Structure 1
Amino acid sequence: MYVYNSTHDGQSVCLVMGKDKYENDLMVKLFYKEMNAVWFHVNNYSSSHVYMLLKSPIKSDVKLLDFVSQHHINDAMQLCKSNSVAGNKLQMVEIVSTPFINLRKSGDMDPGQVSFKSTRFLSYFTCYARDNTVLSRLEKTKIILEKDIVDSEDFKRLVEVEDMEALEYMNIITSMKTDDVIAPSLEEFLRRCKKSKDGQRIETYVNIYLERLKLVEKLRKKIKKLGKSGKAKVIGGIDYGDFEYA
């Protein structure tokens, strides 16, 4: 699950996006009313599910522009369009939006598929050509929430060769309370959020542990490269092959 920060004119809004159709289903299942979430999707095409998390309670007939600026809405639309195989190729797409509480999911639906309790509460926006400036700005704020990496064999190899970032990560993890670590899965983390009924729990978690989460991303890239090559280059004076730092 990807978390982005959309900031305009001093106002910050949290945008959340599933990385695939299974995470989309997980979010529909475990998001909750107190999150004040508004859902975005490319209309009539497959695309990512993007949620804008508002800080004020909302109803099904919410008017987004009463809460956020058009710039925030544009950010959410660009994420939808750029993460749609078909939509990303088009000069213009229509984006459908509705409060999370208006979404409906039944057991006979395919993964990632949703419908609505009422079509009266759907809003439509037009998203024009892909805006790489917007996407680049959002990418710099992206945090990935998923299972922690402490169980990875490649991560253990980094610890063994005394990779500084791996050791720093281990020090942070051992000092944290169990409930503060995203473990054993994203699903469990979202269940804890839902149980808390705290609408800002995801955003608060990211803000508190931002530096650790950024460190995790660096380590994930290292582990990915290590896994591909099966080797590492010189670390601490030891030759581990052609491993490259991110």
Structure 2
Amino acid sequence: MVYYFTSILTTPPARIYAGKDKFENEELIKFGLEDDVWFHVENLSSAHIYLRLSEDQSWNDLPEDLLIDCAQLTKANSIEGNKKSDVSIIYTPWTNLKKDGSMVAGQVGFKDSSQASRISL
């Protein structure tokens, strides 16, 4: 079951999606949209969190409050990450995600690693 969240830190409110497990993460990878931004705890297992951008938003110029909201949600949905005092959250446009047949369910890579950003919490 995919989880849906609404962040009211922006106008209009932002829609956020999260997979419950690696199989739902796989579905989110497959059916993402060009205006989605993907979030994940770097180097740890976590839910895949997707932010659906509004028309006037850019993935690399998100309002700081919204970016922190998405990053906190990502950290909270990591069994190991939510216990740590400091984690790195990586985020990138959905269009930058790369999936090939050698990857296990829920695993992704990047087409261009320079198109990925990080925020520390």
Q: Determine the C-alpha separation between the residues in 1 that align with 2:33 and 2:15.
A: 15
Q: Name the residue aligned to 1:8.
A: 9
Moved over 2 A (4+): none
The 1-side partners of 2:69 and 2:24 are apart by 20
C-alpha RMSD of matched pairs (Å): 1.6
Alignment partner, residue 80 of structure 1: 74
2:10–2:66 contact (8 Å) kept in structure 1? no
Deviation at 1:8, TM superposition (A): 1.7
What amino acid sits opposite 1:111 in the alignment? A
Higher RCO, Cα 8 Å, sep 6+: 2
The residue aligned with 1:226 is none
Runs (5+) with no aligned partner, structure 1: 128-246
Q: Which structure 2 segments of 5+ residues have no match?
A: none
The answer to whether residue 60 in structure 2 is matched with residue 63 in structure 1 is: yes
Bigger fraction of residues in helix = 1
Partner of 1:46: 45
Quick check: 1:106 aligned with 2:107?
A: no
- Using a 3 Å threshold, how does the CA distance of structure 1 residues 77 and 50 change in structure 2: closer, same or farther? same
Q: One-letter code of the match for 2:50?
A: Y
TM-score of the pair, normalised by structure 2 = 0.91
Q: What's the TM-score, normalizing by structure 1?
A: 0.46
User: Identity over aligned residues, as a percent?
Assistant: 38
Whose strand proportion is higher, 1 or 2? 2
Q: Deviations over 1:21-50 (max 9, x none)?
A: 0010011112232xx000000001110100
Q: CA deviation at 1:56?
A: 1.7
User: Which is greater in Rg?
Assistant: 1
Map of 1:78-157 to 2, 5 A cutoff?
78-127=72-121
Correspondence for 2:36: 37
